[in-house]
A and B are shown apart, each in its own frame.
Chain A
Amino acid sequence: MTAVAEQAAERRELARGGGAGIATQMGVLTVHAVRTLLSDRRLLLITLIEPLPMLLVFGQALSGLAHVPGFPRGVPYIDYLVPALMVTTALQTGLQSATRLTDDLNGGLMSRLRTMPLWLGSVLVAQSATGLVRGLVRLVTLVGLAWLAFGFRCRGGPLALLLAVAVSMAVAWSLGWVFMALACWFRRGDTLQAAAGLAMFPLMFASNAFLPVTSLPSWLRVVAEVNPLTHGVAAVRALTLGRPALPAVTATLALTLLVTAVAAPVAVRRIRRTD
C-alpha cells in the first residue's frame, strides 16, 4: 500500500506541474484555430470571392445614389461604397467568429476542455484572434478587388488605407466579442443567426453606409446617428477619402474598446456554464 501511495504522490506531483499557463493556452488554442481555418479550402475560396457580388450589386444598383442631396461632390460612388463594405465585412467577420464558437461549444472537444485545468476564456481569445486573421484576409481581398476591377482609389494615401483597414479590424474585433457573448448565451448556431439577422439589417441600412445620413427621413436619421456602425463607416470613409479623420477615428476606437470591455467579461463568465 505504501508503494501505491508513493506512486500516487508522484503522479500528483506530475499533475501539479500540469496545466499550461494562460498565455500558453491562448497561444496553443489560437494556432490550432487558425490552422483549422486555413485548412478549410472551401471556406477560403468563398472568402476570396465573397466581395465580388457585393461590389457588383451595390456598386451598380446604388450608383444612382451619387446624385442624392448631401452626397459629397466629385466622389465616385465606388469610393463612397468601399469604406461601407469594409465595415460591414467587419460586422460579418465578427458574426462568423461567434458562429464558429457555437460549433466549438457544441463540438466534442469543448466537453474535454471543460474537464481540463484551463481558463476557458482562452477559447474565446483564440476564436477572436482567428477572427482577426480572417477579417484581414477578407479586407485585403475586398480592397484589392475593388482597386483592380472597380476603380476604387484611396485618396488619403497608403498610410490612410492601412489605418482604414486597422479601424475596420478594430470594429470586427469588438463586434466579435459582442456576438461571442451572445453565442455563449444562446449556445445554438441557429438561434444566434436569427438574433444576428434581426440586428444586422437595421445596423447596415439605418446608417450612413450606403447613402448620406442627411438624405434619410428624419426619424431614421436619429437611429442612424446613434448607430455605432455609422461612426465606424464615418471614420473609415474619412480616411480613404483623405478628409480630416481624427475625431471619427478616435470616437470609433473608443467605442470599440468600450463595447469590448462590456462584452468580453460577459462572454468569459458565460462560457463555463453548461445549463
Chain B
Amino acid sequence: MTEPAAGAAIETEALVQRFGAVTALDGVDLAVPHGTVLCLLGHNGAGKSTLVDILTTLARPASGTARVAGFDVVAEAHRVRRSIGVAGQFAALDERMTPRATLVLLTRLHGLGRRAAHARADELLDLFGLGEFAERPLRACSGGTRRRLDLAAGLTGRPEVVVLDEPTAGLDPVSRLTLWEVVRGLARDGAAVLLTTQDLAEADRLADVVAVLRRGRLVASGTPGELKARVGSRSVTVRPADAVQAEQALRADGITPAFDPARGTLTVAAASSRQVTDVLRALDAAGIDPGELSLSEPGLDEVYLALAAGHDTVRDVA
C-alpha cells in the first residue's frame, strides 16, 4: 500500500448527496491541506452536516469521491476512522458517565493501555478546563461542559484530521476562546481542521480558508479577508440628538454617512479602526455627542445577500 500524499488531508470531488427528492450536496469540490483550518459557513440546511457525515464515514455519498487523510471514505472507511477526530452539534456522549470515565474509555478504545489512557484523559481534562467536573455524571453537568467534553472526546485519538460540526454553538465566551486556541494549536501541529459554523466572526478569527455552502453548493471560498472584501466592510453607527446637524458636520470633514431617518442613526463604512476614530473626532470637533455608538461586523446574512445578488458559483481560491 502506497503512503497517501501528506498535502491533502481532506479532498472531495463532485460530491453529491441526496435524500429522496432533496439534493443536500450538489457537487462539492473541497481541498483542505494539513496544518490548515477550513471554516465551512452556511445556514441550517445548507448541507454542512451532510458533508460532515460523509467525511466522518457516517453516511455514504450518492456520487463523487471524498478522501480523508488519503483514504477513500467509502472503500477505506476503517482507515479513515483511524485518522479522524469528530465533535458534533449534539454531544455524542453517555449521560450516565463522568467526563473522566468517558475520556478513559475512548482513549482505551484507541488502543492505549490503562495507565496511558488515564494520563491522556488528565491531559485533555486539563486542556479543556474540565478538571473540577471530572467525576460528575454528565447528566448533572451544564451544556457548556458537555460541549467541551465532546470536543475533548474527539481528540482522544490524536487525530490527523479533525472535523468539528458547529463546535461553539451554545458555548460561553471563555470556553469559546479555549476552543479557538485548541483549534489553532491543532493546525500548528500539522492537523487539518474542518469546522462548520454559522458565525462569520468565528470564521474570521480561526480560518485559513473560508468556504460558504448554500443549498448544497460551495458558492464562495477564500481567505477571510478576501471573503469580507466581497461582502462589504465593518461599519460604525451613531445616534446623535440632532442627526441632521451631525451629518453636516461629518460631510464637512469629508465623511459620507448613510442616514436612517426611521431610527435617527448615521452609519459610516469603516474598514479600519482609524476610520472609526475619524468619525468620532469629526463629531467631537463640532461639539456633537455621538449618543449611542455601535460597531458592526459584516455577518453571515450579508455574505448571503452579497452572494445571492452576485454570481452563484464563484470560486476565488481553490
Contacts and interface: CB of A to CB of B under 8 A. Distances in A.
A218 interface: no
B181 interface: no
B189 A111 contact: no
Contacts of A118: 81, 109
B92 A109 contact: yes
Interface string B87-100: 01011111111000
Interface in A104-118: 107-109, 111-118
Interface residues of A, number: 39
A17 interface: yes
A129 to B, nearest CB: 16
B247 interface: no
A148 interface: no
B56 A18 contact: no
A171 B91 CA distance: 37
Contact of A108 (B94, B108, B189): B94
Interface in A11-60: 11-12, 14-21, 24-25, 28-29, 32, 36, 39-40
A5 interface: yes
A12 B68 CA distance: 12
Given A7-B35, A11-B191, A108-B93, A115 B108 contact: no
Interface string A90-132: 0000000000000000011101111111100000000000000
21 contacts: A4-B33, A4-B34, A4-B35, A6-B190, A7-B34, A8-B160, A12-B160, A19-B82, A28-B105, A28-B108, A32-B101, A108-B90, A109-B94, A109-B97, A109-B102, A111-B88, A112-B86, A114-B57, A114-B58, A116-B109, A116-B157
Interface of A: 1, 3-12, 14-21, 24-25, 28-29, 32, 36, 39-40, 107-109, 111-118, 274
Interface of B: 6-7, 9, 33-35, 56-59, 69, 78-79, 81-84, 86, 88, 90-97, 101-102, 105-106, 108-111, 153, 157-160, 189-192
Given A24-B108, A36-B97, A111-B88, 20 more contacts: A3-B190, A4-B35, A5-B7, A7-B34, A11-B189, A12-B160, A15-B158, A15-B160, A18-B110, A19-B82, A19-B111, A36-B96, A107-B94, A108-B91, A112-B153, A115-B81, A115-B84, A115-B86, A116-B157, A117-B79
